[in-house]
A and B are shown apart, each in its own frame.
Chain A
Amino acid sequence: MSKLVYLIPLLPFVGFLLIGLGRKSLSKTLTGIIGCSTVLAAFIISLLIFFEVRHEDFQTQVIQVFPFIEFGKVSIPFAFQVDQLAALFLLIITGVGFLIHMYSTAYMHEEQPEHFARYFSYLNLFIFFMLMLVLGANYVIMFIGWEGVGLCSYLLIGYWFKNEDYNNAARKAFIMNRIGDLGFLIAIFWMISQFSSTSFAEVFAKASSGSTVTIITILLFIGAVGKSAQIPLYTWLPDAMAGPTPVSALIHAATMVTAGIYMIARSNVLYSLAPLSQNIVAIIGITTAILAALIALRQNDIKKVLAYSTVSQLGYMFLGLGVGAYVGAVFHVMTHAFFKALLFLAAGSVIHALHHEQDIRRMGGLKKNIPITHFTFLIGCLAIAGIPPFSGFFSKDEILIAAYARDPILYWIGLGGALLTAFYMFRLYTLTFLGEYRGKNDHHGDHDHHIHESPSAMTIPLVVLAVLAVIGGFVGLPEIFNDKLGTSHYLHHFLSPVITASHDEPHVSANTEYILLAVSVVLIVVSCIAAVNAFKRYKYSAEEPKGFGKILANKFYVDEFYDAVIVRPLKSFALFLNESVEKLAIDGIVNGIGKAIQYGSRQLRWLQSGQVAAYVLLMVISIIIFFFVQFFVKH
C-alpha cells in the first residue's frame, strides 16, 4: 500500500490542474465534484496507509520517486517517507480538508463560476503542498511543501482581490512567512554543510549535541515561528481572516499553521539534543499563548477572536514541544484541527446566516434560529475550553502536566491562559447565541424571516467535526486513567517509533496529577460561567473601552509598533532610494550614455558626405597613419 503513497499528493494536484485549466468552462457542480472527490480519494488512500502503519511490525518506509538534486557528495532524492507521524497528519489534512471542501461548495455558492473554480483550484493546490510537506523524507521536500502552502495561503487570503485591505493582508502574511522561511532555508544549508545530507534518517543519526544542533534547531524554530504565527511574527494570522471563512478554517486554523509543530515534532531527535532551543521554544510558546489569549478578550469580530485563539493554542503546542511533550503537542494539533475547524465553520455558518455580519456586538439570540450551528459551536467551545470529556481537555492537560513536570511556573501560567481561553470563548458564545438579537433590523420578530439554518452541505461537516471534537480526545487518555481502566495511551503507543525522545520526560506522581486536573477543571468551569453571566445581558454600545481594555482592543499596539519601527523606515528608505539613487544616479548614467552616443553619432554623420574624393582622401590619410604607427612600433 505504501507504494501508492505518491497518489496522495498527486490526486489533489490533478484536481488543481483540471479545475484551474478548465475554470472558464466547468460548471459549479462539476468543479465541486472534482475538488471534493480528489481529496476524498486521497483520504481513502491515507486511511489504507494508516491501517498498514498501525501494525506492530511496520517499519518506516522511504519511497524514492526520482533523484532530485545531486552535487558533490550530497544527494537529495525526491522521496516520500511513510511512518506513523506522517500517517496521522495525512489523515488530519485529507479528512478535515475534505469536510471543508464539501462545506465550501455551499459557502461559496454565490460566487461566479470562474471565481468559484479559482477558489477550488487554490484549495486543491493547498492540499497538494500540505501533503508534500508531511510526506517529504528530507527537509528539502518539506521546504517545497512549506513554500507552497505559504503561496496558497497568500492566494486565498487575497481571494477577493478587488478589496485593497484584503490584498494588504495577503501580502503581510506572505512577507511575514518569508522572514521565517529564511531561517528554515539557512537551517537546511547548515545541515548540508555539517551532515552533507538533509534526509531525516541521516541527519538524526549524525547529530550529536553541541553548538551545531543548537544553531540548526533555533533556525528551524525561526521557520516555525513564521509559519505557525508565534511571537514576534504572529500578526499576519489575525489579518489572514480576510480570506473566505472555510479557508480560515482549513489553512489558518487546522492545517497550515500546524506545519511548524509538525516540523519540530519531526525533528524531535534534534531538539532533545539542544536544551537551549527547547527552552526558547517553550518560552516563546507560553508567551504567545498568554498574549494572544489576552488580545482575544477584547476582539469584536467573530473571526478575529477565533484567529487569536488559534495563535494562543499554537502557543500551547509550542509549549508542549518545548517541554519535551512531543506526543502531547501532536495530540493537541489533532484535537485542535477538529474543534478549531468546527468553530470556524460554525462561525462561517453564522456569518452566512446573517448575510456577512461579523461583529459579535451585532449578534445575539441566534440559538433558536440556527440550532445545528448553535449546538456544534457549543461543542467546539467546550472542547477548546478544556472541559472533560471533550477532546481539548485531554490534549491541553497532557501539555500542561508535562509543563508542570518541567517547571510548575510554566504550568500555572499555562493554566492562566487556559482560563482566559475559556472566558473569551464563552464570551464569544454568549454574545453570538444567547441574549437578545442586536442586529440592525431588530423589529419584533422580523429577523426570524431572514436568519435561517445553512444548507446541509454546510451542516454535515459541522456535525462530523463536532463528533470528532467530542471523541477525538479518547485516543490519548492521561496515564492515571489508563492505569485504572487498563487501557493505554493509544497515541503514545502509536507514535513511539517516530518520537523517541519523549520516553525520558519527567513524570509527576499520580496524586499531583489528580489535584492538578481537578483544579484546572474547576477553575475553567468557573471561568466559563463567569463569562456567560457577564455577557448574558449585553447591550450594544459603540463606546471605546478604557485603560487596559483599550490596550487589549488595540492588540497591544504591536501592529502600530511594527509599522513605526520597520514598515515606515523601510518605506522612507525605499522612497529615498527611488528619489535619489534611482532617479538621479542610475537614470542619469543611463540617459547620459544614450545622449552622448546620440551626440557623437550626429557629429560623425558629417564624415559621410557622399563625395568619393573625400573617402579616398580619408583612406590615404589612414594608410599613412598606419604606416607611421607600424614604423614607430617596430623601432
Chain B
Amino acid sequence: MPINYYIFLSLTIFCIGIVGVLTRRNAIIIFMCIELMLNAVNLLLVAFSKMHHLQQASTSAMAGIDGQLFVFFIMVVAAAEVSVGLAIIVMLFRNVHSVDVNFLNRLKH
C-alpha cells in the first residue's frame, strides 16, 4: 500500500483532533481529542518506520526501528498524562460540578 494513504489518514485524524480541541468545551472530549492527535502522529511514525525499513533492509537490519521506538515512548507518556489529566478533571468536577473548560477562566485575574 502506498505511503500516501497512511499520511492522508493520519492528517485527517490529526485535524479532527485539532478541531475537537478548539470547538468543544467538555474537558473529557478535549482530552480525547488530544489523544486522537497523539495517535495520529503514532500512526505516521509507524508508517514511515515501515517504509524506511523496506527501503534499507538490504544495508541494515535495524533500519527504521527508531520510529517504532518513538511510538512506544509516546504511548507511555500519553498513559502518564492521562492519569494526571483525568485526576485533574475529577477534582474539577468535585469543585465546580461541571467539566466545562470555560469555567476555568479565573486564571485571568
Contact = CB atoms under 8 A, between A and B. Distances in A.
Interface string B6-45: 0000000000001001110100000000000000000000
A611 B108 CA distance: 9
B107 interface: yes
Nearest to B27: A612
B108 A608 contact: yes
Contacts of A613: 21-23, 25, 101-102
Interface string B85-104: 00000000000000001101
Nearest to A623: B18
A616 B22 contact: yes
Contacts of B22: 613, 616-617, 620
Interface string A576-616: 00000000000000000000000000000000111111001
B105 A620 contact: no
B27 to A, nearest CB: 9
A620 B101 contact: no
A608 B107 CA distance: 9
Name the residue in A608, A612, A616 with the highest tally of chain B Cβ atoms < 10 Å from its Cβ.
Answer: A612
B7 to A, nearest CB: 16
B101 A612 contact: yes
Contact of B108 (A610, A616, A617, A620): A610
Contacts of B18: 620
Nearest to B19: A620
Contacts of A610: 104-109
Nearest to B21: A616
The interface size bin for chain B is 10 to 19
Contacts of A608: 108
Main DSSP-derived SS at the B contact region: helix
Name the residue in A608, A609, A610, A617 with the highest tally of chain B Cβ atoms < 10 Å from its Cβ.
Answer: A610
Contacts of A616: 21-22
B108 A609 contact: yes
Nearest to A612: B101
Interface in B52-80: none
A122 B34 CA distance: 80
The interface size bin for chain A is under 10
Contacts of B108: 608-610
Nearest to B104: A612
A495 B104 CA distance: 95
Nearest to A608: B108
B5 to A, nearest CB: 23
A151 B94 CA distance: 77
A514 B21 CA distance: 118
A609 B105 CA distance: 7
B88 to A, nearest CB: 12
A604 to B, nearest CB: 13
Name the residue in B23, B105, B106 with the highest tally of chain A Cβ atoms < 10 Å from its Cβ.
Answer: B105
Nearest to B105: A610
Contacts of A609: 105, 108
A613 B104 CA distance: 11
Contacts of A620: 18, 22
A611 B102 contact: yes
Nearest to B24: A613
A242 B42 CA distance: 93
A610 B102 CA distance: 8
B32 to A, nearest CB: 15
Nearest to A617: B22
Contacts of B25: 613
Nearest to B107: A610
A608 B102 CA distance: 14
A156 B24 CA distance: 83
A617 B18 CA distance: 9
A359 B25 CA distance: 97
A608 to B, nearest CB: 6
A412 B30 CA distance: 111
Interface in A254-270: none
A612 B21 CA distance: 10
B105 A611 contact: yes
A611 B107 CA distance: 9
A364 B104 CA distance: 98
Contacts of A612: 101-102, 104-105
Nearest to B101: A612
Contacts of B106: 610
Contacts of A617: 22
Nearest to B109: A610
Nearest to B18: A620
B62 to A, nearest CB: 31
A613 B18 CA distance: 11
Contacts of B105: 609-612
Contacts of B104: 610, 612
Contacts of A611: 102, 105
A609 B107 CA distance: 9
Contacts of B107: 610
A620 B22 CA distance: 9
A611 B101 CA distance: 8
A616 B17 CA distance: 12
Interface in A158-196: none
B55 to A, nearest CB: 24
A609 B23 CA distance: 16
A620 to B, nearest CB: 6
A612 B23 CA distance: 11
A618 to B, nearest CB: 10
Interface string A34-57: 000000000000000000000000
A617 B21 CA distance: 9
Contacts of B23: 613
B81 to A, nearest CB: 16
A612 B31 CA distance: 13
A612 B99 CA distance: 13
Interface of B: 18, 21-23, 25, 101-102, 104-109
Given A611-B105, A616-B21, 13 more contacts: A609-B105, A610-B104, A610-B107, A610-B108, A612-B101, A612-B102, A612-B105, A613-B21, A613-B23, A613-B25, A613-B102, A616-B22, A620-B22
Interface of A: 608-613, 616-617, 620
26 contacts: A608-B108, A609-B105, A609-B108, A610-B104, A610-B105, A610-B106, A610-B107, A610-B108, A610-B109, A611-B102, A611-B105, A612-B101, A612-B102, A612-B104, A612-B105, A613-B21, A613-B22, A613-B23, A613-B25, A613-B101, A613-B102, A616-B21, A616-B22, A617-B22, A620-B18, A620-B22
Give the 6 A-B residue pairs with the shortest CB-CB distance, closest first. A610-B105, A610-B108, A612-B101, A617-B22, A616-B21, A610-B107
